């Protein structure tokens, strides 16, 4: 079976900090993990099949004109995301195990499951992720927040592991039992919060999921890895809106492809947030640090917080979708947290060119924003309108994906189960 080797040194001249993941033969000097016979019920992942993300060591641009170094421990220097696995039954518990040659410290394992509505739950850290804890036959038991018949695992590697030349030998999952009772399902509305938004910039750098940033990009960054979508997907999509309605309102539908601003463990949209549990639900730690001097006015890395930002916007989202002239307060809806209505995936012919969102089902209706390629949205209803040609074919049907927000069905995959819109 191919393995994943962490290799440093030679690539430093190419401008990469930290490490690179490569499917490779084992290091000659590294001790080899003993061969393990097949175990009953285990799903054995092939490290060579993982999507690999490398940290370029980019500097994050400050909206105030300064430049902020990524803090120590700003996340793994490399991330291996394995393909999703379909199960023959819904489960809410998994056993997880990894095997490593070389130094055993510096690995972080996370798993997630897909809800019955086709919406991915957030990534769940595996307690005691170091190989010493999860390489035993029984692995580590992880409880998912909801039953799932499709699961996925990813493994992050720190700079310490990179410097030690560690080799990821194996990754295994085992579904445990069957889900006990029905899932409560998604709530009626997604969680919503008012956040201060800043521009990402960083053109040419690499996001936390491995995407190379472009000037016209449409994605966002949130300060937690729990809602970091795999590269090229919209598994975690937000709706970001300016204004309070009326002619000044614009909305962007964009996937979460990066981690920040300021923090990396601040899932402020969750009631069981990972850190700073004493803060109000929906209030980013950076906002409290800036406004109220929380944590001495510093972020989780000890840096002085220079603005209350709780979301970063890629340049295309900031400039084209929302038409923001400068940093601003926005309304953010975390679409994966609610709304059980049928889902659709935005599909465009050119990945750099988002779908224009309009106020009604026709090309003569005013623009109200943009929806990024791959974004996953809930479809409220379907309406007859102008015929449009798109990646999904030609159709005279439009989908309402938000209050006063319509897109052509020709630019969406799914949503056909939504009801017809009521006549005005």
Give per-residue pLDDT as tens, 166-179.
778 889 999 987 77
CB atoms closer than 10 angstroms to residue 56: 19
Asked whether the whole model's pTM tops 0.85, one would answer yes
Distance between CA atoms of 63 and 49, rounded to whole angstroms? Answer: 38
Give the architecture (CATH level 2) of 191-414: Beta Barrel (2.40)
Residues of the chain within CATH 2.40.40.10 domain(s) are 191-414
Residue 18 has pLDDT above 50, yes or no: no
* Confidence band, pLDDT 50/70/90 cuts, at residue 396: very high
Residues of the chain within CATH 2.60.120 domain(s) are 3-175
| CATH code of the region 3-175 | 2.60.120
Chain mean position to CA 148? 18
- φ, ψ (nearest 5 deg) of residue 143: -100, 125
Mapped onto helix, strand or coil, the DSSP state of residue 289 is: helix
* Confidence band, pLDDT 50/70/90 cuts, at residue 181: low
State both tokens at 171. Answer: 């990754």
Q: What is the pLDDT of residues 36-48, one digit of tens each?
A: 444 568 999 987 8
Distance between CA atoms of 41 and 176, rounded to whole angstroms? Answer: 9
Distance between CA atoms of 23 and 199, rounded to whole angstroms? Answer: 35
């Amino acid at each position: 079976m191919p393995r994943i080797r962490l290799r440093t040194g030679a690539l430093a001249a190419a401008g990469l900090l930290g490490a690179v993941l490569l499917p490779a033969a084992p290091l000659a000097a590294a001790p080899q993990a003993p061969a393990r016979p097949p175990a009953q019920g285990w799903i054995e992942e092939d490290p060579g099949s993982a999507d690999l993300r490398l940290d370029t060591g980019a500097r994050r641009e400050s909206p105030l004109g300064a430049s902020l170094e990524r803090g120590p421990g700003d996340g793994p220097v490399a991330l291996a995301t394995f393909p999703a696995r379909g199960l023959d039954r819904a489960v809410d518990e998994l056993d997880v195990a990894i095997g490593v040659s070389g130094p055993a410290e510096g690995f972080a394992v996370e798993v997630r499951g897909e809800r019955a509505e086709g919406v991915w739950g957030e990534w769940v850290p595996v307690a005691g992720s170091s190989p010493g804890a999860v390489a035993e036959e029984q692995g580590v038991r992880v409880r998912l927040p909801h039953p799932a018949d499709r699961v996925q695992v990813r493994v992050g590697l720190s700079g310490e592991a990179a410097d030690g030349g560690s080799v990821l030998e194996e990754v295994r999952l085992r579904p445990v039992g069957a889900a006990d009772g029905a899932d409560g399902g998604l709530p009626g509305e997604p969680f919503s919060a008012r956040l201060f938004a800043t521009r990402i910039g960083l053109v040419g750098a690499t996001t936390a999921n491995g995407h190379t940033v472009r000037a016209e990009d449409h994605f966002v960054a949130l300060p937690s890895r729990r809602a970091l979508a795999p590269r090229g997907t919209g598994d975690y999509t937000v709706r970001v809106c300016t204004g309070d309605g009326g002619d000044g309102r614009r909305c962007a539908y964009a996937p979460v492809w990066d981690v920040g601003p300021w923090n990396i463990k601040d899932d402020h949209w969750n009631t069981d947030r990972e850190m700073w549990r004493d803060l109000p639900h929906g209030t980013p730690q950076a906002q409290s640090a800036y406004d109220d001097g929380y944590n001495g006015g510093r972020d989780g890395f000890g840096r002085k917080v220079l603005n209350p930002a709780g979301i970063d916007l890629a340049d295309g989202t900031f400039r084209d979708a929302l038409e923001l002239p400068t940093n601003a307060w926005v309304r953010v809806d975390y679409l994966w947290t609610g709304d059980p209505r049928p889902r659709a995936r935005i599909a465009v012919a050119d990945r750099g060119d988002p779908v224009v969102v309009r106020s009604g089902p026709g090309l003569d209706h005013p623009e109200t924003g943009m929806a990024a390629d791959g974004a996953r949205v809930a479809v409220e209803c379907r309406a007859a309108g102008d015929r449009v040609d798109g990646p999904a074919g030609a159709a005279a049907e439009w989908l309402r994906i938000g209050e006063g927000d319509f897109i052509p069905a020709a630019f969406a995959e799914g949503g056909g189960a939504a009801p017809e819109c009521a006549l005005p």
